[in-house]
């Protein structure tokens, strides 16, 4: 609770206190002074009356030397309230008669002359106390002072009372209402003690309006947030479906595309001269288009893996000088076909470095390919050099360059400068976006310096790795065979981290069949999902004995029966078949269409 001194009435009173005291002092002083002057005038008037009433008799008594008469008159005068002494002297200061107090520092006197026939004959001195005026008005001064203090106290309490009820109480109601206002509660202020429309009433009305708006806005925001959360969930799910779909479809596209590329490449050699020139040209078109499509599919696969966070770098010792020479030599012919000067510069001390050669190649390929693609005349220069902690690749060209505002756009997926650039130079806008993300995986980055119409410099910088940065995540059987299988290596590494989870393998030879099931199982916290496209890879994984028991989900096909029987006889596995079968080899058979919850229920039942 707040102290008395914090009340608004007292705070306001403090502001005007000294002004009030000054004015009260001035008014009181003026009132006392007025009373003093009035009393002084009354005293002088009293002396005048004494003079008038005694003047004739006293003048005759002095003139006739009638001592008895003078004494009687003096006694009568001294007996009044304010006269304490009286002296009558002739003009030569000879004393005629004296009575009472005559010599005292606290005395004042009133003087007048006695006359006979308008001729001065003597002087009369009436002595009175200097404090006579004060003594007359001291009670009045006390009353005035008490009245002033009483007014001060009354005004003070009236001021506090009315301030408290007119201002403080309404303000407290408003303050209390503001404390009650939150996102879920509405608070209104009703000033029932305010009969007139004042500023406080206006403040209360404004608060009520604000409270109403806050509550309405909160309801609207809550509804909007609910919609946004649902949309976010839908978008995340759609993105997962999209990534899964792209990954699987891209894989399915690559499978028939590889033999097309391979066969067309072999046929282009035309060893037996059995193809005509037109056929050779057609084969070139097929081979070129297939390679371009393969690159596009690889880019889409990389993009989906990057978005899903599934890309892992495989560090190894390599001869970076040899790797870089081989890489850059590939583009030499492409530069010569466009009559470009093509220069390679290598300035490193240690040829052997630790890096992911495949991803390093991919980044450099994208940068060099873009430099040649967007340079019509001039040069392309590729540099490799090192510092104590970093390796740096510069790809410099004299091509079309970039506008300053377009530099950030080139690293956005599917984003190209404009439609005319796409039509003229082709491409999907994925290369640089993927390269930048791969550079970040190397603890590095790609930087750009460019001037429109003059050329660009793309710099790929990354930190050197030490031996201790490469760690072995598990012990392997048949080490040499296992090291050659990079896909299996990544799966085993992930298995070590998720040892306590249920290990489920999907033989995904039909991506559309397992599309939704894959998404569903990946969301389960207690499931570690692995996918293969063949049973051979399953056996390689099981041989390493990372898990005691695997659950394999597979589409029922007759040609898989013998291999599954061998697997089941050798290893402790559980088989779930999708389709129709009475074969005892399957621990559980689930009919199509696949119901995700039913599959999960069967898995838990089989584990128990």
C-alpha 247/C-alpha 7 separation (Å) is 72
The residue segments making up the domain with residue 541 are 502-607
Give the 3-state DSSP-derived string for 456-520, with helices as H, strands as E and coil as C: EEEEEEEECCCHHHCCCCCCCCCHHHHHCCHHHHHHHHHHHHCCCCEEEEEECCCHHHHHHHHHH
Please indicate, yes or no, if residue 452 is contained in any of the structural domains.
yes
- Listed residues 311, 339, 363: the one ending a domain: 311
Let me know whether 340 and 460 are in one domain: yes
| Tokens, residue 569 | 């006889």
pLDDT at position 460: 93
Please indicate, yes or no, if residue 482 is contained in any of the structural domains.
no
Average pLDDT, the chain: 79
Please indicate, yes or no, if residue 381 is contained in any of the structural domains.
yes
Contacts of the segment 66-70: beta carbons below 8 A, 24+ positions apart: 67/97, 70/96, 70/97
pLDDT greater at residue 455 or residue 423 = 455
Let me know whether 324 and 286 are in one domain: no
Q: Which of 110-124, 485-499, 527-541, 569-583 is predicted with the least confidence, judged by mean pLDDT? A: 485-499
Please indicate, yes or no, if residue 124 is contained in any of the structural domains.
yes
Largest CA distance in the chain: 186
Let me know whether 67 and 125 are in one domain: yes
Q: What percent of the chain has pLDDT over 90?
A: 9
> Phi and psi dihedrals of 578, rounded to 5?
-105, 115
The model's confidence at residue 490, banded by pLDDT at 50, 70 and 90, is very low
Please indicate, yes or no, if residue 161 is contained in any of the structural domains.
no
CA neighbor of 124 nearest in space, from 112, 136, 115:
112
pLDDT at position 381: 94
Let me know whether 425 and 552 are in one domain: no
- Output the domain CATH number for residue 74: 3.30.450
C-alpha 415/C-alpha 303 separation (Å) is 14
Please indicate, yes or no, if residue 171 is contained in any of the structural domains.
no
Reduce the DSSP state of residue 303 to 3 states and report it.
helix
Which residues sit opposite 45 in a β-bridge? none
pLDDT at position 4: 45
pLDDT at position 499: 42
Let me know whether 212 and 144 are in one domain: no
| Tokens, residue 264 | 């067309």
Let me know whether 320 and 464 are in one domain: yes
Let me know whether 327 and 377 are in one domain: yes
pLDDT at position 316: 83
HSE toward the beta carbon, residue 335, CA cutoff 13 A: 23
Q: Which of 298-312, 395-409, 535-549 is predicted with the least confidence, judged by mean pLDDT? A: 535-549
pLDDT at 477 over 50: no
pLDDT at position 478: 37
pLDDT greater at residue 434 or residue 131 = 434
pLDDT at 445 over 60: yes
pLDDT at position 186: 66
pLDDT at position 6: 56
The total of structural domains in the chain comes to 4
Let me know whether 553 and 598 are in one domain: yes
Let me know whether 238 and 320 are in one domain: no
- Output the domain CATH number for residue 351: 3.30.565.10
C-alpha 508/C-alpha 515 separation (Å) is 9
Q: Do the Cβ atoms of 507 and 554 come closer than 8 Å?
A: yes
pTM (2 d.p.): 0.43
The model's confidence at residue 379, banded by pLDDT at 50, 70 and 90, is very high
Please indicate, yes or no, if residue 278 is contained in any of the structural domains.
yes
Let me know whether 200 and 146 are in one domain: no
pLDDT at 479 over 50: no
Which residues sit opposite 521 in a β-bridge? none
Let me know whether 92 and 112 are in one domain: yes
Which residues sit opposite 577 in a β-bridge? 554, 589
Please indicate, yes or no, if residue 244 is contained in any of the structural domains.
yes
pLDDT at position 120: 87
pLDDT at position 8: 62
- Listed residues 311, 334, 365: the one ending a domain: 311
pLDDT at position 458: 94
- Listed residues 453, 469, 485: the one ending a domain: 469
**Overall residue count recorded for the chain in this entry:** 608
Q: Which of 1-5, 145-149, 529-533 is predicted with the least confidence, judged by mean pLDDT? A: 1-5
| Tokens, residue 334 | 């492409």
C-alpha 544/C-alpha 192 separation (Å) is 83
| H or E element, residue 588 | strand 588-590
pLDDT at position 548: 58
pLDDT at 471 over 50: no
pLDDT at position 392: 93
Let me know whether 17 and 143 are in one domain: yes
Average pLDDT over every residue of 428-441: 82
């Amino acid at each position: 609770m707040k102290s008395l001194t914090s009340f608004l009435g007292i705070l306001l009173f403090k502001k005007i206190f000294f002004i009030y005291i000054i004015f009260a002092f001035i008014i009181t002083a003026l009132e006392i002074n007025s009373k003093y002057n009035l009393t002084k005038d009354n005293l002088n008037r009293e002396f005048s009356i004494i003079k008038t009433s005694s003047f004739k008799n006293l003048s005759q008594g002095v003139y006739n030397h009638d001592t008895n008469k003078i004494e009687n008159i003096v006694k009568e005068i001294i007996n009044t309230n304010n006269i304490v002494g009286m002296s009558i002297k002739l003009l030569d200061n000879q004393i005629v008669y004296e009575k009472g107090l005559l010599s005292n520092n606290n005395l004042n006197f009133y003087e007048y002359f006695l006359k006979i026939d308008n001729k001065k004959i003597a002087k009369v001195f009436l002595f009175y106390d200097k404090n006579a005026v004060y003594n007359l008005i001291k009670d009045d001064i006390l009353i005035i002072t008490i009245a002033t203090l009483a007014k001060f106290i009354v005004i003070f309490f009236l001021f506090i009372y009315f301030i408290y009820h007119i201002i403080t109480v309404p303000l407290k109601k408003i303050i209390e209402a503001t404390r009650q206002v939150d996102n879920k509660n509405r608070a209104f202020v009703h000033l029932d003690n305010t009969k007139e429309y004042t500023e406080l009433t206006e403040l209360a009305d404004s608060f009520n309006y604000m409270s109403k708006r806050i509550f309405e806005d909160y309801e609207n925001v809550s509804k909007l947030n609910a919609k946004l959360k649902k949309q976010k969930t839908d978008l995340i799910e759609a993105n997962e479906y999209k990534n899964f779909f792209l990954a699987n479809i891209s894989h399915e596209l690559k499978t028939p595309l590889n033999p097309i590329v391979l066969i067309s490449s072999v046929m282009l050699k035309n060893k037996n001269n059995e193809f005509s020139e037109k056929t050779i040209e057609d084969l070139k078109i097929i081979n070129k288009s297939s390679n371009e499509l393969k690159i596009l599919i690889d880019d889409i696969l990389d993009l989906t893996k990057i978005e899903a966070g599934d890309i892992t770098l495989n560090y190894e010792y390599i001869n970076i000088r040899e790797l870089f020479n081989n890489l850059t030599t590939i583009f030499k012919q492409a530069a010569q076909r466009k009559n470009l000067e093509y220069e390679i510069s290598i300035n490193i001390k240690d040829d052997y470095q630790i890096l992911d050669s495949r991803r390093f190649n991919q980044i450099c390929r994208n940068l060099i390919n873009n430099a040649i693609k967007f340079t019509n005349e001039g040069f392309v220069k590729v540099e490799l050099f090192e510092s104590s902690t970093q390796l740096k690749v510069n790809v410099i060209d004299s091509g079309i360059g970039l506008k300053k505002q377009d530099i950030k756009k080139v690293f956005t997926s599917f984003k190209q400068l404009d439609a005319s650039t796409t039509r003229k130079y082709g491409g999907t806008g994925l290369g640089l976006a993927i390269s930048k993300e791969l550079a970040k995986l190397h603890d590095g980055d790609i930087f750009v310096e460019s001037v429109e119409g003059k050329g660009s410099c793309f710099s790929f910088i990354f930190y050197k790795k030490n031996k201790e940065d490469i760690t072995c995540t598990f012990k392997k059987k048949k080490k040499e065979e296992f090291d050659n299988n990079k896909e299996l290596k990544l799966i085993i590494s992930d298995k070590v981290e998720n040892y306590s989870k249920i290990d489920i393998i999907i033989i995904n030879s039909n991506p559309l069949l397992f599309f939704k099931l894959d998404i569903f199982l990946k969301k389960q916290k207690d499931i570690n999902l692995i996918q293969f496209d063949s049973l051979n890879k399953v056996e390689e994984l099981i041989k390493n004995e990372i898990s005691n028991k695997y659950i394999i989900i597979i589409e029922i096909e007759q040609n898989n029966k013998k291999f599954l029987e061998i697997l089941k006889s050798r290893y402790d596995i559980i088989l779930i078949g999708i389709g129709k079968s009475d074969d005892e080899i399957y621990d559980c058979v689930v009919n199509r269409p696949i119901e995700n919850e039913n599959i999960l229920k069967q898995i838990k039942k089989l584990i128990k």
